[in-house]
Amino acid sequence: HPESTLTQRDIYNARALVTRDVLGGYASTAALLKEFDEKEIPYVVKWSPDEPNRLLGLVWTFPYCIQMWKRFPEVISFDNTYNTNRFKLPLFQVTGQTCLGTVFNAAFGLIDNERRDGFQFLAESISTLLLQHSIRQPAIIITDFDDSMKAALNDQFAEVQQQLCIHHINSNVLLRSKQKWVKNAENSSSSDISDADEPAEPQATLTLHNRALISAKTSSKVPHTYQGILQMWKQVLFAETEEAHNKAWIDLCKEFDDQRPILRYLFSTYMPVRAQWARCFIRKYPNYGIRVTSGTEASNNNIKSYLLNGMGHLHNRGQAMQDMLYDQERDFKDACGNDEVLRDREFLGSSSDYLGELRSIASSKCLKLINIQYRQARKALPTGKNPNPRPLDPCTDECSVSTELGIPCCHTIYLRVCSTEAFTKWDIHPRWRLRETSSRDPYRRILDPKIATSLRGRPKNTKQGVPADLTPTVVSQGSGRAFASQPQASQSQAPGSQKRKRGRPPGSRNKSTLQKESESQETIASQGITRSQTIYVGAGNTTGVRASGQRVQASVRRTRSQWELL
């Protein structure tokens, strides 16, 4: 706009004026806490011991976060992000996953450091919010490999199983293998080499090809390179049993015996905590298939998209979070509606009758997990081509599908299919239901008043016959004779006591048209017109049958005499 006389400084001053009006004369932190108090948003604050009015930490949540947190409290994830405010306070997020696999935010936090005391305040604040709002403690907490955070969570949630993000583990294994890889392996096979003497490449980074290997499937042929270490490490990571896990680790040590620095790193760093990342151990806990913190990292990127820059004050950071949660709530409701209506054809046919009511109340993600177990059970069902199939393995403690995922295992599905008994909503964990159960929301248990049933038939406005058993008791013999004869006479003359005769009334045949018309006019003139009758209007613009109803005005036509009707 060349005609504009505004400068960049003018725009800056206008924005600063708007910001001052929004803050109402308060500092940004004071305005944020004042808004929390006015809107009754729960929060926990930490003040400086030297300056009682100096904020050091803040943890808060929102009503929608509490609602989703109560519904899906089983697995939560912790992670930090940076460059979100001008005070350079790391933003701490607690997230979970819904029945659709989408991410929801449970709580937010700001801390002044990433040491043990900072994470201890965060863990204590999360525990306080759980108690204040009657939210069940999580069964699983997933974090990256941060020793300070893990120690604080272990101190506050001692009874909760911790898991490590396997994506972070694989990334670190690949990066450290690339840094510690020894091309001339003659001197690295000796066991007396210390970690300080290990050759390292601190400047080594992962390329796009290396990052693709982290999530790629393992191949049968393992190269003798640092990429091959990652492939064999995945076999250690995803082994289903502890025996297979131990065997995969021994094979890794044999194959890369010349890379002792890498083996020492893996052995000292990850093997002591293998119960928090190895598949053979974590599948015995209810993690519902969640093994990474990717949802929290996606939420970190999502919240930054609502920020204009990373140098804003705390008040507009809080407003941006509320805007993000508004969109998050809308998207979740839309996704639930689409998931409920747009079901896969695979779950609508007769082959899925074993699912029963799960087809209408469970999410598609849950149905897909059940379908995987159904395919395993179907292999043991006799068919025309294979009347004697191989039976399923016995359901022992190694069968942890029901514990880990909260769905029936293949053994349970096999028994249900053989007995033709369909599944019900009680056979899956409540977190897989698309709609929240009424037991958690008391307002969903309230029913509408019963709909009044309309009385059919015409209204009974005429006198009805009185039944004989309602006759008053006889007082005297003389009066009783006369009293008893009256009801009989009234009953014989009651219009409802006579049976209705069908067909034409007697004497209605062989009458001329003029005679029938004259009789009808006499009947109308003598009885009048009721609401339920129709009248013959006559010739003219109103010729035809008039609907039943009352006349607004009296007819201007005179009644014809008897001689005019002949």
Clarify whether residues 218 and 103 are in a common domain. no
* Rounded mean pLDDT, 349-363: 87
* Range with lowest mean pLDDT among 135-144, 286-295, 538-547, 556-565: 538-547
Q: Which residues contact 413 (CB under 8 A, 6 or more apart)?
A: 354, 370, 373, 374, 377
Clarify whether residues 356 and 323 are in a common domain. no
Clarify whether residues 320 and 261 are in a common domain. no
Check whether 496 has a pLDDT greater than 50: no
CA 459 to chain centre: 51
* Range with lowest mean pLDDT among 66-75, 171-180, 189-198, 520-529: 189-198
Clarify whether residues 216 and 320 are in a common domain. no
- Give the whole-angstrom CA distance, residue 92 versus residue 100: 24
Check whether 479 has a pLDDT greater than 80: no
Q: What is the pLDDT of residues 251-272, one digit of tens each?
A: 999 999 999 999 999 999 999 9
How much is the pLDDT for 276? 95
8 Å CB contact between 142 and 366: no
In a domain, 328, yes or no: yes
Check whether 140 has a pLDDT greater than 60: yes
Clarify whether residues 144 and 25 are in a common domain. yes
Clarify whether residues 78 and 104 are in a common domain. yes
The mean pLDDT value of the chain amounts to 81
Residue whose token pair is 């109103």? 542
In a domain, 455, yes or no: no
At 83, which CATH number?
A: 3.30.420.10
Most confident residue range from 97-101, 110-114, 418-422: 97-101
Name the more confident of 297 and 527.
297
Clarify whether residues 85 and 212 are in a common domain. no
Q: How many CA atoms lie within 13 A of 475 on its CB side?
A: 4
pTM recorded for the entire structure:
0.71
How much is the pLDDT for 161? 95
Please report which confidence band the pLDDT of residue 200 belongs to, taking 50, 70 and 90 as the band edges: very low
How much is the pLDDT for 542? 47
In a domain, 224, yes or no: yes
Q: How many domains does the chain have?
A: 3
- The one-letter amino acid code at 430 reads P
How much is the pLDDT for 345? 76
* Rounded mean pLDDT, 516-529: 60
Q: What is the pLDDT of residues 65-102, one digit of tens each?
A: 999 999 999 999 999 899 888 888 999 999 999 999 99
Clarify whether residues 86 and 153 are in a common domain. yes
In a domain, 548, yes or no: no
In a domain, 479, yes or no: no
Clarify whether residues 206 and 225 are in a common domain. yes
In a domain, 392, yes or no: yes
Clarify whether residues 68 and 32 are in a common domain. yes
Its domain, for residue 248, covers 168-278
Of 155, 153, 133, residue with least CA distance to 70: 133
How much is the pLDDT for 52? 87
How much is the pLDDT for 218? 63
Clarify whether residues 440 and 360 are in a common domain. yes
* Range with lowest mean pLDDT among 293-307, 401-415, 434-448: 434-448
In a domain, 3, yes or no: no
Clarify whether residues 86 and 177 are in a common domain. no
Name the more confident of 20 and 525.
20
How much is the pLDDT for 335? 94
In a domain, 518, yes or no: no
Structure tokens at 268: 């000292």
